[in-house]
Amino acid sequence: MQVEPLNDTERMLALAENMLDRYGIISRQAVIAENIPGGFPSMQTLCRSMEDSGRIMRGRFVEGLGGAQFAERLTIDRLRDLATQATQTRHYTPVALSANDPANVWGNLLPWPAHPATLVPTRRAGALVVVSGGKLLLYLAQGGKKMLVWQEKEELLAPEVFHALTTALRREPRLRFTLTEVNDLPVRQTPMFTLLREAGFSSSPQGLDWG
């Protein structure tokens, strides 16, 4: 049986639904990241039609993504629930992700936060990030030699941040590397040395060994 090719509207609708599944929110940055044909103007036209039909809603759901954001009601309700829970508890559970995971918005939907260190974070396979409460806390570069930490005050460096990192590292049982630098400093000269060792790293002459 011959399958009829999709027309432009159907193709754009399929792309929009894929973005809603992947990101939860359609924004200008997400469209640019996905290299959508016609760019954001074409996607915005379709989203307005979807909004008129009640399929999605428009609003400012995520800070930093601009005013033209579109999402399904279930996603919006979930975001509100999470915001309410965070306000009530003031506690966030750190989560480690692959740097190129779609759930990592930095370097894709949002620019990487500024950092004075010379290491430039990238969305490469093998690199990891730890996020919590909508903030990027930690970046481990591909190869594991260097790390960036954004919350430098020692009281903000909760042990659970580094336990989240080592939990992710344990998913790769053959992984071996030596961490030597954090924020351009030898890891032994930073408050992260003890926290990382307590989370599962081993002390070595060069720094901290994993695996």
d(CA 58, CA 82): 19
Does a structural domain hold residue 145? yes
Residue 3 domain flag: no
Please say if the pLDDT value at position 152 is more than 70: no
Q: Out of 23-37, 126-140, 157-171, 195-209, pick the least confident.
A: 23-37
Verify that 109 and 96 share a domain, yes or no: yes
| Domain match, 128 and 188 both | yes
Domain extent at residue 21: 8-88
- Rounded mean pLDDT of 49-77? 89
How far apart (Å, rounded) are the C-alpha atoms in residues 171 and 115? 28
Angle formed at CA 13 by CA 12 and CA 18, multiple of 5 degrees: 95
Backbone angles phi, psi at 80, to 5 degrees: -65, -40
Does one domain contain both 109 and 178?
yes
pLDDT surpassing 50 at residue 155:
no
- Specify the number of domains making up the chain: 2
Is there a domain that residue 1 lies in? Answer: no
pTM of this structure: 0.72
For CA atoms 158, 107, 66, 51, the dihedral sign is: negative
- Choosing from 88, 107, 122, the residue where a domain stops is 88
The span from the CA of 182 to the CA of 207, in Å, is: 10
| Residues 6 or more apart whose Cβ sits within 8 Å of residue 105 | none
